[in-house]
């Protein structure tokens, strides 16, 4: 078995594209090998700022021999047919063909055996086919070369079993050479296999393994911080990006000028992270320290002093802008910036951001009565997006909401209103913290509900994988806000009220119902991660009148517990049996068997006992549902298990007496109606 090593060496590849590109290249090569009956033991991908590499272990030196059978004409067929068969099969005479007995007579067969080609030859074809297919998010052409790649290709290394595979791509032909660090170890490096490639590059100040680069960054930066009794802020996204920016990571610490430390910590952190790729450091109490971590791609004779000084100088210029905006923005009250939102289009068909804020106010007041402790929500909604008109948010868009909080507090607004401004965008994803303060919850709900009803009203709904307005995320945010804060929020009423701010002639009830169906799908996605069965959610939603997510979850939890018991599982089986019988007979008779059951017509003590048990269960279920005790409702249904079993054991449903048959079918239909009070059992799988 032999090893394939492929490296595409280019100018700097954007960090965000590296890992995906390496994985895609490994996948394309793996698919090509599979199509050629070549099965490796391992495929490994590596990526860095200037290279994408794939190493494939356990490949045979040649393809396995293959054979193909080709059916020819019948024995005795015209000569033209036989000659055509021989030519197509590559046979020189019929002596080389086999004659086989088939149901319709004797036929000629050609067995074509093909020896396996050398793997190196096949690899050249596979790689040259794979490279143009690599799906870069963005690519470019350079000079007169028509080939597209993320950045100009400068070289290709391709070795199989230690020998060069002459792959050609982008005007380059493969060799056994790669390049070391651009500054620390420039020049060509010859290699023989992956181990040699990895070791020689390491000596040339290039760490091929991204994981190794990450470990060095984390460990060395933590050591530098600990020496000053500081800690590094956890930032996986920045860590991954910086790992893709350096081949030879050298962590260093710099200092933030004291003049900027009165600027909000979020501003300093954003400026360092977004623009400069610096790591923020914290003191023991969690506050931002006046130090930052920078990852150099160089070792220097002065141990990085000049690099640190240069980065401090660049950061000083960046923070000077931030401090200017901070000082200028506070000169005007946040309230004064609301009118400027009229200059910002929210959506061509939904008006400006000012129009959105104008809709959020009344909606917040409507929601306020459903959230205990919420007050002044209309004021919070009015100011929620005012910071979009500030210089700071214009420069640092990721600080929207956060800066609004600072400016609101500076203006003397209550803390609850200021916090609502900062938190109303949340939760932005499954791992984002969900607001819990009453005012924050109300404004966050108002913002998301307004967006959802607005886009549904103009028929801009998510389709397939496309969701340009992040409506799925908004729906999941509403679900989390409701469930995590245990809110009794009637969604249909909320949707219809919010729709009132749009076209008065629109069919509010229809759009609200579409939105509720959309929420049902999103709730299934949300609960799937928590291990809740989607079919049980469907079974409860199918009742058609459930728009209270908290109550719905109580139903689902009770149904889950019920079906986990023997009584629940057996009643589900009995329900299906009865429902199938009723469905078949209704179709055959072209009638419905819903209706009152004449007890005197049942003609069997087991049927009478089931009717009596059903009447008791229905009364108990209705009472339990009225007080929203869904566990009690399920317990009442569980009592049907034994009388139902006895009925099916002793009673023939399709009696030869028409009155008995009708009464018994109606009895079975009544079982379905009883279970249908708590959930649609037909939706339950398994």
Cα gap 398→273, rounded to integer Å: 11
Edge-to-edge strand list for the sheet holding 288-296: 231-232, 279-282, 288-296, 250-255
Residue 593 is predicted with a pLDDT of 87
Comparing 229-243, 278-292, 300-314, 580-594, the range with the smallest average pLDDT is 580-594
Q: What is the pLDDT of residues 158-178, one digit of tens each?
A: 999 999 999 999 999 999 999
Confidence band, pLDDT 50/70/90 cuts, at residue 111 = confident
Residue 464 is predicted with a pLDDT of 83
Q: What is the pLDDT of residues 285-310, one digit of tens each?
A: 999 999 999 999 999 999 999 999 99
Which phi and psi (to 5°) does residue 41 adopt?
A: -90, -25
Residue pair 352/435 in contact (Cβ under 8 Å)? The answer is no
> 561-683: same fold as 2-62+119-203?
no
Q: What is the pLDDT of residues 28-87, one digit of tens each?
A: 999 999 999 899 999 999 999 999 999 999 999 998 887 778 899 999 899 899 899 988
CATH architecture of 561-683: Orthogonal Bundle (1.10)
Confidence band, pLDDT 50/70/90 cuts, at residue 504 = low
- Pair of tokens at residue 90: 């590559």
**Cβ neighbours of residue 212 closer than 8 Å, sequence gap 6 or more:** none
The CATH classification of domain 2-62+119-203, taken from the options 3.40.50.2000, 3.40.1000.10, 3.30.70.260, 3.20.20.140? 3.30.70.260
Cα gap 62→45, rounded to integer Å: 23
- Pair of tokens at residue 594: 């819903």
**DSSP designation for 276:** I
Q: For the residues 355-369, what does the mean pLDDT come to? A: 96
- Pair of tokens at residue 383: 């100011």
**Cβ neighbours of residue 315 closer than 8 Å, sequence gap 6 or more:** 254, 256, 271, 272, 276, 278, 292
Q: For the residues 264-289, what does the mean pLDDT come to? A: 95
Residues in the chain: 686
- Pair of tokens at residue 619: 């009364």
Residue 89 is predicted with a pLDDT of 84
pLDDT exceeding 70 applies to what percent of the chain? 99
* Three-state helix/strand/coil letters over 395-442: HCHHHCCHHHHHHHHHCCCCHHHHHHHHHCCCCCCCCCCCCCCHHHHH
Cα gap 384→600, rounded to integer Å: 68
Average pLDDT taken over every residue of the chain? 93
Confidence band, pLDDT 50/70/90 cuts, at residue 431 = confident
Residue with the bigger pLDDT between 680 and 189: it is 189
Residue with the bigger pLDDT between 624 and 525: it is 624
**Cβ neighbours of residue 95 closer than 8 Å, sequence gap 6 or more:** none
Domain boundaries, the chain: 2-62+119-203, 67-114, 210-329, 336-531, 561-683
Q: Is 34 exposed, middle or buried (0-12, 13-18, 19+ CB in 10 A)?
A: exposed
* Three-state helix/strand/coil letters over 153-178: EEEEEEEECCEECCCEECCEECECEE
- Taking alpha carbons only, the member of 105, 80, 83, 78 closest to residue 94 is 83
Is residue 115 over pLDDT 90?
A: no
The DSSP H or E segment spanning 181 is none
Residue pair 661/653 in contact (Cβ under 8 Å)? The answer is yes
Tell the residue number behind the tokens 């090593």, with chain if given: 5
């Amino acid at each position: 078995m032999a090893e394939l090593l492929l490296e595409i060496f280019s100018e700097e590849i954007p960090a965000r594209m590296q890992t995906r590109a390496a994985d895609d290249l490994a996948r394309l090569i793996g698919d090509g090998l599979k199509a050629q009956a070549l099965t490796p033991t391992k495929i490994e991908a590596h990526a860095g700022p200037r290279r994408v590499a794939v190493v494939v272990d356990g490949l045979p030196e040649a393809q396995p021999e293959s054979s193909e059978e080709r059916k020819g004409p019948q024995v005795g067929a015209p000569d033209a047919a036989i000659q055509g068969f021989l030519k197509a099969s590559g046979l020189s005479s019929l002596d080389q063909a086999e004659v086989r007995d088939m149901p319709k007579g004797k036929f000629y067969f050609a067995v074509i055996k093909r020896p396996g080609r050398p793997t190196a030859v096949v690899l050249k074809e596979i790689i040259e086919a794979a490279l143009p297919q690599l799906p870069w998010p963005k690519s470019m052409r350079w000079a007169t070369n028509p080939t597209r790649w993320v950045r100009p290709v400068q070289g290709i290394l391709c070795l199989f079993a230690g020998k060069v595979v002459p792959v050609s791509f982008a005007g380059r032909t493969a060799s056994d050479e790669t390049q070391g660090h651009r500054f620390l170890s420039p020049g060509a490096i010859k290699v023989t296999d992956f181990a040699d490639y990895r070791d020689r590059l390491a000596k040339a100040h290039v760490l091929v393994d991204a994981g190794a680069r990450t470990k060095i960054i984390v460990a060395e930066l933590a050591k530098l911080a600990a020496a000053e009794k500081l800690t590094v802020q956890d930032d996986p996204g920045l860590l991954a990006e910086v790992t893709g920016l350096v081949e030879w990571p050298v962590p260093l610490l710099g200092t933030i000028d004291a003049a900027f430390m009165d600027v909000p910590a979020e501003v300093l952190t954003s400026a360092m992270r977004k623009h400069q790729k610096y790591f923020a450091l914290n003191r023991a109490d969690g506050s931002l320290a006046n130090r930052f971590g920078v990852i150099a791609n160089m070792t220097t004779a002065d141990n990085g002093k000049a690099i640190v000084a240069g980065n401090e100088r660049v950061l000083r210029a960046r923070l000077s802008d931030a401090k200017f905006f901070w000082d200028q923005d506070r000169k005007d009250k946040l309230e004064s910036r609301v009118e400027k939102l009229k200059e910002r289009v929210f959506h061509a068909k939904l008006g400006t951001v000012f129009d959105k804020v104008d809709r959020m106010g009344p909606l917040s007041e409507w929601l306020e009565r459903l959230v205990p402790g919420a007050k002044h929500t209309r004021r919070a909604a009015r100011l929620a997006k005012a910071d979009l008109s500030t210089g700071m948010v214009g420069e640092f868009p990721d600080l929207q909401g956060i800066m609004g909080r600072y400016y609101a507090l500076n203006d003397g607004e209550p803390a609850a209103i200021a916090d609502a401004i900062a938190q109303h965008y949340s939760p932005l994803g499954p791992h984002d913290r969900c607001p819990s303060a009453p005012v924050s919850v109300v404004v966050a709900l108002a913002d998301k509900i307004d967006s959802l009803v607005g886009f549904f009203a103009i028929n801009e709904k998510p389709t397939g994988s496309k969701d340009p307005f992040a409506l799925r995320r908004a729906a999941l945010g509403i679900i989390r806000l409701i469930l995590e804060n245990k809110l009794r929020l009637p969604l249909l009423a909320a949707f219809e009220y919010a729709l009132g701010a749009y076209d008065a002639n629109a069919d509010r009830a229809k759009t609200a119902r579409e939105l509720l169906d959309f929420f049902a799908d999103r709730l299934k996605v949300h609960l799937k991660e928590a291990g809740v069965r989607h079919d049980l959610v469907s079974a409860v939603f199918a009742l058609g009148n459930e728009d209270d997510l908290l109550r719905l979850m109580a139903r689902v939890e009770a149904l889950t517990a019920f079906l986990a018991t023997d009584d629940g599982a057996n009643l589900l089986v009995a329900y299906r049996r009865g429902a199938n019988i009723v469905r078949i007979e209704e179709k055959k008779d072209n009638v419905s068997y819903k209706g009152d059951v004449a007890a005197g017509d049942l003609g069997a003590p087991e049927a009478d006992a089931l009717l009596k048990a059903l009447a008791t269960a229905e009364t108990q279920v209705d009472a339990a549902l009225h007080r929203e005790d869904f566990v009690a409702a399920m317990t009442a249904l569980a009592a049907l298990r034994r009388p139902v079993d006895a009925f099916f054991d002793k009673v023939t449903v399709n009696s030869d007496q028409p009155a008995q048959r009708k009464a018994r079918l109606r009895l079975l239909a009544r079982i379905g109606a009883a279970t249908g009070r708590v959930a649609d059992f037909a939706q339950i799988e398994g």
